[in-house]
Amino acid sequence: MLILPGWLIVASDTPPRQGWGLRVTASRVTDVGPADALIAAYPDEDQMNASESICLPGFVNTHVHLYGVLAHGIDVHQPPDGFASFLEEYWWPQIEDVLDQPMIEAATDWVCSEMLRSGTTTFFDILEAPHAIPDVLLVEKQIVEKRGLRGLLSFEATERAGAQIAQDGLRENVELISACDTDGLVSGLMSYHTTFTCSGEFIRQAFGLAADLGVLTHAHANESHFEAEWCQTTYGRSTFEYYDDLGVAGPEFLASQCVQLSEADRTIIADRGIRVSHMPLSNCEVGGGIAPISELLDAGVTLGLGSDGYINDFYEVMRGAFLLAKARRLDPGVMPATTVLNLATEGGARALGLAKVGRLDIGWSADLQLVDATFPTPLTEHNIFDQLVLWRSHRDVSDVMVAGRWRVRRGEVLDADLDQMRARTHEEANRLWSH
């Protein structure tokens, strides 16, 4: 089919084109050009006219916790006064240790729909629910396949809940990865929690299993000062110096958060090619700080954006990345909208190791969104990235396609009974909250 929007954004590093469209065949973009030329070249193709819309790549959320939605608005028993107490007195006992499969099932279905509705077509989920294994990732896989997103799933193995559960967590990842078709939309990554919940031996085991399976390994790293200080006290070196000594610092490592980094940490991340996922909004939530993202980008680090399961509307996540970097550096010139959009699309796909995802060039996956192009001020080639990043939200997304299939049309998630899904999530949240 031909998709003929008012404006086409192929990628953040190419000029926006007014009156251009693209051709989609099966799951891929097969031509890009002026609408007239496309209609002349393919007169028999179905046409979707969207002259009041901007067509751009779908978002890539490089870090989400689907179950996180169940904690939205929860009454925290013991308000945390630091990062360690956030985990030890709230997040672990009140959320992660209580989660079971029906809760995760409901949250997965709801958040997949919520992400689709806000233009997200690809995500990486990290599930930490020590008492919900085995086979909880297979439950997630079925739901993600039904919703039709491109999903990378993982179970965050941790030794904090005991050696057996830790090993079961690694096995959960291995089994999911082995169960995924190479050409399917769902795949898996290896994942463990942090240096303060996993031993060096366990971390090496995780990386070893991932290497055998040919996948990346993910961990949370230095989300606040806590882990940096813990590594210094326990191992006499910084977190990434420790990782370097373990022999796991390399391009197979996807490190999320990376908020509080020493000079040595930044150098190791850049020199070893470690990939980074940046969560501007949730870093604020836990009092972690503001990550040195513009510095990491200047050093050539492969980087994507994530919601952390906190605020999943990717337009809000982009605004967080855009504004917080400027405030941190006291410089309105850092982190322009083009950079932010790159991180939200192609940059994120690269951070997750995905090929041909995140651009709308010929041969790339047809993962796209149509966004309302009617602004109160003129839309031009020079301001379109700012207009999108600063003044659009999920409410402006009308249509979303993943791998050549429409998943949202005219603002409605297809084949989804949102009222029923909301009621079910509500019920599961009540069960979690009453624990």
Q: What is the CA radius of gyration of the chain?
A: 21
> Using CB under 5 A, which of the segments 45-53, 151-159, 170-178, 300-308 binds Zn ion?
300-308
| DSSP codes joined into one string, 86-132 | IIIIIIIIIIITT--HHHHHHHHHHHHHHHHHTTEEEEEEEE--TTS
Using the Cα atoms of residue 413, residue 56, residue 309 and residue 164 in order, give the sign of their dihedral: positive
CB of 108 to Zn ion, least distance (A): 16
Choose between 308 and 396: whose C-beta lies nearer to Zn ion. Answer: 308
> Using CB under 5 A, which of the segments 44-52, 69-77, 301-309, 360-368 binds Zn ion?
301-309
Choose between 159 and 396: whose C-beta lies nearer to Zn ion. Answer: 159
Choose between 252 and 308: whose C-beta lies nearer to Zn ion. Answer: 308
- Residue 128 in the binding site for Zn ion (CB under 5 A): no
Strand partners of residue 269: none
CB of 153 to Zn ion, least distance (A): 14
| Residues shown for the chain | 435
Residue nearest to Zn ion (CB): 308
CB of 152 to Zn ion, least distance (A): 14
Choose between 205 and 283: whose C-beta lies nearer to Zn ion. Answer: 283
> Using CB under 5 A, which of the segments 20-28, 230-238, 302-310, 391-399 binds Zn ion?
302-310
- Residue 252 in the binding site for Zn ion (CB under 5 A): no
CB of 276 to Zn ion, least distance (A): 13
- Residue 308 in the binding site for Zn ion (CB under 5 A): yes
CB of 311 to Zn ion, least distance (A): 13
User: What is the spatial distance between Cα 198 and Cα 160, in angstroms, rounded to a whole number?
Assistant: 7
Choose between 159 and 308: whose C-beta lies nearer to Zn ion. Answer: 308
CB of 197 to Zn ion, least distance (A): 13
Q: How far is CA 435 from CA 88, 284, 432, in A?
A: 16, 27, 6
Choose between 57 and 68: whose C-beta lies nearer to Zn ion. Answer: 68
CB 33 within 8 A of CB 20: yes
Choose between 2 and 279: whose C-beta lies nearer to Zn ion. Answer: 279
Strand partners of residue 23: 2, 31
Helix (H) or strand (E) holding 49: strand 47-57
Instruction: Tell me the two tokens of residue 93.
Output: 């006992």
Tell me the residue ranges of DSSP E strands in 178-273: 186-188, 190-191, 217-221, 253-257
> Using CB under 5 A, which of the segments 35-43, 193-201, 265-273, 307-315 binds Zn ion?
307-315
CB of 156 to Zn ion, least distance (A): 8
User: What is the spatial distance between Cα 314 and Cα 56, in angstroms, rounded to a whole number?
Assistant: 13
Choose between 141 and 220: whose C-beta lies nearer to Zn ion. Answer: 220
CB of 177 to Zn ion, least distance (A): 20
Instruction: Tell me the two tokens of residue 410.
Output: 């005219």
Strand-strand pairing, 303-305 and 368-372: unpaired
Longest dimension (CA), the chain: 69
Number of residues that bind Zn ion (CB under 5 A): 1
- Binding site residues, Zn ion, CB under 5 A: 308
